[in-house]
Amino acid sequence: MESYEQLLDKAYENVKLIEGTGERFEIPAVEGFFQGKKTVLTNFFQITSHIRRDPEQLQRFLSKELATPITKEGDKLILNIKIPSKKINPKIEQYVEEFVLCKECKKPDTELIKEGKLTLIHCLACGAKHPVRNKI
């Protein structure tokens, strides 16, 4: 019969090493192009799928933060101004910080719930609940 240490060594040999930055949650960068005086985002729905939030909510947030009307056309999002991705990415990160990441454990395993007039972010990992900004 093998000792505990031998079994532990054998288990460590079978464990896969994870390569990466150590950050489990990374937001995809915005991809898009300019079309005249408009900006077309081609991976908007991929981003909303990755952060597990309603595309309409992120669209309203970006429209308010970037002060421009935004329309959907198929699987693309069209901003009515010419704006580089280096200005859009920080706004998406701000949205994730405010509406996706848990304030306690900083994990993205959250959901938005309504309790009365309050919108709360409920963490599925640690169980914490925190209010979020109402008006998007």
pLDDT digits (tens, 9 = 90+) for 57-79: 999 999 999 999 999 998 899 99
Kindly list the domain boundaries of the chain, sorted by start residue: 28-100, 103-136
Mean pLDDT in the chain?
Answer: 87
Instruction: Name the band, by pLDDT with cuts 50, 70 and 90, for residue 20.
Output: very low
State how far the Cα of 117 lies from the Cα of 91, in Å rounded to an integer. Answer: 25
3-state DSSP assignment of residue 64: helix
CA pair distance 85, 20, nearest whole angstrom? 24
**23 pLDDT exceeds 70?**
no
Q: Which residues contact 132 (CB under 8 A, 6 or more apart)?
A: 98, 99, 112, 119, 120, 121
Which residue, chain included where needed, has tokens 């329309």? 71
Q: Is 8 helix (H, G, I), strand (E, B) or coil?
A: helix
Cβ contacts of 54 within 8 Å, gap of 6 or more: 48
Give the model's pLDDT for residue 84: 92
Instruction: Assign domain 28-100 one CATH number from 3.40.50.300, 3.40.50.11540, 2.60.40.10, 3.30.70.3150.
Output: 3.30.70.3150
Q: How far is CA 81 from CA 47, 57, 69, 71, 103, in A?
A: 20, 20, 8, 12, 33
